[in-house]
Structure 1
């Protein structure tokens, strides 16, 4: 079993991984040397390409002893391509997780073997011979991996192949580094667009061309009247539900007008714009369910949004949870119907905002601040403002608690927002969306380029192990001679072990 070319190149041969050096390593218990520092080649450390430095007392399980130039092939979840090379020994004993299969052979170029085991066709064979129920619980079986047969070039050719692979990969790595610089630049671009929009720069020309648009001061008066009207309708509905009819208008005095915005430290706005608070522009600001949820989730039911469903500039439908209808009935205040401004209230993405789509259907949510805007405030305009650097700066000042970043309903109510006319809000949203679409297209192309680099990397490895990456040299010692030497050394070691065993008897 293995990924072999149809015809072996000149001087090449085949052998099993057992012959090529899969080791039965020595197990050790680091905890028995609690104050000793170990160089631990663990699976979690692999993405950082550097071993961990740990005290023996920090290691709770057995490990295996390794030496420089050992090739490590990860057993767990083999669909992830993890092959590592143990580096030079420094000041500490070198140990590795038992989740690695260890290959050791002084007669083979270890870097060649590392690249060989990273090749995609070898990975496919590995994934076809696993145990476990699936996903991260699968493991390749060492006894089966021993039987894998691979093609092997002469030793000198191995070194030339490694040099060529790594020279080509160096070019790919430089391209990848250039691509990695793009996401931060795109985020700076997005933030620059938002800053320009909410300073009024993005629509300065539009305002000059539309001087007769109704100013925001008039719009805010309309919002103010709508807010009071909705409150009165809600109060009348409550009284009617209790069978009561008001005798006069004294009940209307209970209405609380939101506090006006203190503009003292706020930046000057373009002509026709006004500062307002979110409380002034919303008929309700509330919060999603707060409390344990794990036991409440079901496979099908009412969609239930969480923090991961709110992303800057857009609603993320993937990974939606679901709850039963009776639980949804208990959480009426956090129901979503469409058009709400959602803001993450805690966690790593605190402050991220999106608008819940009107065509997504009724749902519910947890740990989100929910703002239900009045007619004059465009929810997309408001959500984009929440994602802007202006609001983020204010949000940092209003975080509650030190250990866990937190944003609450009170913070949202008091938060200021610059309000232009309804028409200009719509123009701003359209302009921002076009520019964000442009940045999304750049991101898509970047991801495509990354996938192309991955494909090219595998193409290089495939060509290398078909013997097509570099020419063969007829003067090289054939791999068959190398393998004969390896087999002889292996048989001699086995014979010595048996001899020592007989003497013990």
Structure 2
């Protein structure tokens, strides 16, 4: 970070100029006597302990070191307030030691001098994660060395301003986290909304007022799945068994195959599409799927995902564990049957007729005997119209939520960048000039830190804890 990008009252330096950079270590992992339950031994961290960790301070990891494990390794105790910075797998996790703590070799830890606020340093190191990652080297995984860690830039404001910046970041980023939490909860709410729409649709509640306005009686009748199928010979069935369709039959072009994963993702075609030859396509006539057919997954956890094969796709062949249904439009519309099968009520019926140990699979004979409650064709059309209207609204909200999540995810780094350009405390500096000048200036602070470090006697940095 260049001096031109920070306030004139601040100083630029490198981490190695102000802090001791200390790595960690790990005892022999195969010896359980080297480890202890959290809180019962010597606190010890690995980068995995910081994965998903959102607090500033940390007191221990998933397990402690025993005294024997600590003594047999190169792990070192960091004093309270040290910055714990992961240097590999991945680079850039950061936390502040809430107490004396050690780490494995996946850290470069920064022991701060008097005059550097640990909360300020915590936020600063969060802000340079991308820079630290760019300096990593290695083939198996990227890592920054101790020598590289010492050259990381550090922006040093006067101590009073460091504390002001940390306080403001605590408040601002807490607000950002609160907004992010609410946004992250919206997809689940939208999912429940869609299911409530489907529940109302298949129970008749969605069109209750419509029936009154149109003087239509509630006249819904149960139909078996097999009775809703077209009278065509192959209108309801499953994909071919392995003896009829093998991996060796796959081609790079020809007639496409449809897999279970495509039904789940509602995405057909693309780079992963496989094909069969025309002769194989003709041989598998019973397993063909046409645009507009309903497709159901026969296996999964749980099974019963449903999709409509798109109208713009060519005729294809379903693979094993896919069920196809061509609906008799004189009895029911394809879209009404599709939405009925999407409902939790129907999915529960599918689960009840499924079995298996490793994975649940639908029994096709029992599937054919499942029933759907079907209203008149005009009411089906009205239900489909209303469901699609409400789903379109939910899709719009979903899109806006995704956009908002993207903005919020960038907001944290934007706030951090402003903080370390001095923009958050610009007015504060004008109002508190006595706290950032003379003996309180960053220049004077940096000189004191350098002088104190130069006067320190050489010492062994391995601060081993006494038994």
Report the TM-score, using the length of structure 1 for normalisation.
Answer: 0.71
Specify the alignment match of 1:236 in structure 2. none
Specify the alignment match of 1:116 in structure 2. 124
Specify the alignment match of 1:70 in structure 2. 83
CA distance in 1, matches of 2:117, 2:295: 57
Seen in structure 2, the aligned counterparts of structure 1 residues 165 and 400 have a Cα distance that, compared at 3 Å, is same
CA distance in 2, matches of 1:109, 1:131: 30
Specify the alignment match of 1:265 in structure 2. none
Deviation, 1:188, is 2.0
CA distance in 2, matches of 1:77, 1:188: 36
| Deviating more after overlay: 151-160 vs 179-188 | 179-188
Specify the alignment match of 1:436 in structure 2. 391
Q: Aligned residue pairs: how many?
A: 423
Deviation, 1:87, is 4.3
* C-alpha contact 2:289 2:324 (8 A) present in aligned 1: no
Deviation, 1:302, is 6.1
Seen in structure 2, the aligned counterparts of structure 1 residues 87 and 289 have a Cα distance that, compared at 3 Å, is farther
Secondary structure, counterpart of 1:445 in structure 2: helix
Deviation, 1:281, is 1.7
Specify the alignment match of 1:259 in structure 2. none
Secondary structure, counterpart of 1:361 in structure 2: coil
* C-alpha contact 1:16 1:147 (8 A) present in aligned 2: yes
Specify the alignment match of 1:231 in structure 2. none
| Equivalent residue in structure 2 for 1:84, among 83, 94, 97 | 94
Deviation, 1:55, is 7.7
Deviation, 1:418, is 1.4
CA distance in 2, matches of 1:293, 1:480: 74
Structure 2 residue 294 is the aligned partner of structure 1 residue 341: yes
Specify the alignment match of 1:139 in structure 2. 142
Specify the alignment match of 1:103 in structure 2. 110
Structure 2 residue 56 is the aligned partner of structure 1 residue 53: no
| Equivalent residue in structure 2 for 1:417, among 372, 376, 384 | 372
Specify the alignment match of 2:325 in structure 1. 372
Structure 2 residue 263 is the aligned partner of structure 1 residue 316: no
* C-alpha contact 2:24 2:103 (8 A) present in aligned 1: no
* C-alpha contact 2:237 2:324 (8 A) present in aligned 1: yes
Deviation, 1:45, is 5.0
Seen in structure 2, the aligned counterparts of structure 1 residues 46 and 327 have a Cα distance that, compared at 3 Å, is farther
* C-alpha contact 1:13 1:152 (8 A) present in aligned 2: yes
| Equivalent residue in structure 1 for 2:174, among 170, 173, 176 | 170
CA distance in 2, matches of 1:380, 1:63: 66
| Equivalent residue in structure 1 for 2:4, among 3, 6, 10 | 6
Seen in structure 2, the aligned counterparts of structure 1 residues 124 and 40 have a Cα distance that, compared at 3 Å, is closer
Deviation, 1:160, is 1.3
| Equivalent residue in structure 2 for 1:478, among 423, 427, 441 | 441
Secondary structure, counterpart of 1:28 in structure 2: coil
Structure 2 residue 197 is the aligned partner of structure 1 residue 193: yes
* C-alpha contact 2:226 2:369 (8 A) present in aligned 1: yes
Specify the alignment match of 1:149 in structure 2. 153
Deviation, 1:182, is 2.2
CA distance in 1, matches of 2:455, 2:249: 64
CA distance in 1, matches of 2:261, 2:400: 24
Seen in structure 2, the aligned counterparts of structure 1 residues 301 and 168 have a Cα distance that, compared at 3 Å, is farther
CA distance in 2, matches of 1:86, 1:318: 49
Gaps of 5+ in 1: 213-269, 499-505
Gaps of 5+ in 2: 39-43, 230-234, 462-467
Seen in structure 2, the aligned counterparts of structure 1 residues 45 and 149 have a Cα distance that, compared at 3 Å, is closer
Aligned pairs for 1:205-220 (under 5 A) are 205-208=209-212
CA distance in 2, matches of 1:131, 1:329: 51
Deviation, 1:12, is 1.2
| Equivalent residue in structure 2 for 1:387, among 342, 350, 362 | 342
Say what the alpha-carbon RMSD is for the aligned residues. Answer: 3.9
Seen in structure 2, the aligned counterparts of structure 1 residues 190 and 19 have a Cα distance that, compared at 3 Å, is same
Secondary structure, counterpart of 1:316 in structure 2: coil
Deviation, 1:316, is 2.7
CA distance in 1, matches of 2:340, 2:119: 52
